[in-house]
Structure 1
Amino acid sequence: MHWPRTLARKQQHALAAEHLRYRHTDARAGVLHCFALDCSGSMLQARQLAFAKGVLLRLLERAYQSRSDVALLCFAAGRAEVRLQPSRARPWNEDWIRPIRGGGGTPLTLGMARADQLLARHAQHAPAQQRWLWVLTDGRTNDAPPRPAWADHVVVVDMERHALPLGRCRMLATSWDAEYLPAP
């Protein structure tokens, strides 16, 4: 509802249906950045999880600067849990990220299904908002999940720092027609 235009149209008359004016939703209604962080045991090798948390902090800071919305999902050991429901980005510090622990297998299929559910639910509340999914993983899994359907844009951030890289993150990005970013 566009109240200033409605009230201007109404003037001193009783409010009627013909006075109502509506806001048009804008395709530039903002962005939800949903971060899916792989917290599996393989991410503990070569301090990949610690590195991924640092990258996550930088991405959250960028989202805050652009006044975007953010969400965080962590997946490991047969679980995928939402750590932060979609909300306006705010200043972050490492005290909030530090308690995230790692261990167990990489349930990539479960993590992506949970991310897709979160994005679908958010799309009902903010249909004009773009939904970006950032997957921070080392790709050390045999899972080959389908691309999350509710993500408008997917970025696979390759956190693999092993001596013999498997290159699965690049393969995942290619199969999903997603953007591939090697971790800096």
Structure 2
Amino acid sequence: MAWPATLARKRSDPLCAEHVRFLAEESKGGVLHCFALDCSASMLAGERLALAKGLLTALFDRAGAERAEAALICFGGMRADVRFGPAVPRWWNERWLSPVGGAGGTPLALGVDTAGQVLARAARTQPAQQRVLWVLTDGRSNDRPVRPTAVDRIVLVDFERDAIRLGRCAQLAREWGAECVRPEELIALS
């Protein structure tokens, strides 16, 4: 109850329900970084998955230092699994990513849809929270995923290094109004 506002409204009148004022509860803002990691067979070529896991460790460390929440979705083969969070990654380290392997196709749409569900749940429980989706992939998929709605910012980290580049990450970034960066750009910032 907001006593000063209530008493100011009451003035010299007897206190009644119309006079009562309440404190506006401040919403917990903060940030949620949702990482969608491509664990398909194509990410094994050229040690892309190893590079992605190293970058992911640095991004989780940064999120923990900022006391931001993080979530990790791994997608590959015919699956997309939530591996962590959303939570503040207090005890995160590279050993958690060691068992993550790569195989099968690239269910990009399933990975993005799973991340979208995590972000939508977070939006319902913490509407003031800023939500960032990071998609770490080589873009070797024919999927055309729909842009998640409960996200404030999207960063596509493009791991494509083949001689013949398909450019699907850049194309998806344009369609979504997202950023598209190379892993080397993020490593320089870490």
Shorter-chain TM range is 0.7 to 0.9
Q: CA deviation at 1:151?
A: 1.3
CA distance in 2 between partners of 1:152 and 1:111 (Å): 18
Partner of 1:69: 69
Partner of 2:25: 23
CA distance in 2 between partners of 1:111 and 1:132 (Å): 15
Deviation readout 1:71-94 (Å, 9 max, x if unpaired): 000001111110012111224221
Q: Secondary structure at the match of 2:27?
A: coil
AA paired with 2:59?
L
5 Å-filtered alignment, 1:1-184, equals 18=20, 20-25=22-27, 29-184=29-184
CA distance in 2 between partners of 1:163 and 1:70 (Å): 34
Gaps of 5+ in 2: 8-16, 185-190
Q: Secondary structure at the match of 1:72?
A: strand
AA paired with 2:158?
D
Q: Secondary structure at the match of 2:44?
A: helix
AA paired with 1:130?
Q
Size of the aligned set, in residue pairs, is 173
Gaps of 5+ in 1: 11-15
Q: Secondary structure at the match of 2:81?
A: strand
Deviation readout 1:30-54 (Å, 9 max, x if unpaired): 1000000000000011110001001
TM-score after normalising by structure 1: 0.86
- Larger Rg over CA atoms: 2
AA paired with 1:96?
W
TM-score after normalising by structure 2: 0.84
AA paired with 2:138?
D
AA paired with 1:116?
G
CA distance in 1 between partners of 2:85 and 2:182 (Å): 26
CA distance in 2 between partners of 1:172 and 1:19 (Å): 48
Q: CA deviation at 1:19?
A: 6.7
CA distance in 2 between partners of 1:121 and 1:81 (Å): 16
Q: CA deviation at 1:21?
A: 2.5
CA distance in 2 between partners of 1:98 and 1:136 (Å): 16
Q: Secondary structure at the match of 1:115?
A: helix
Q: Is the 8 A contact 1:61 1:91 kept in 2?
A: no
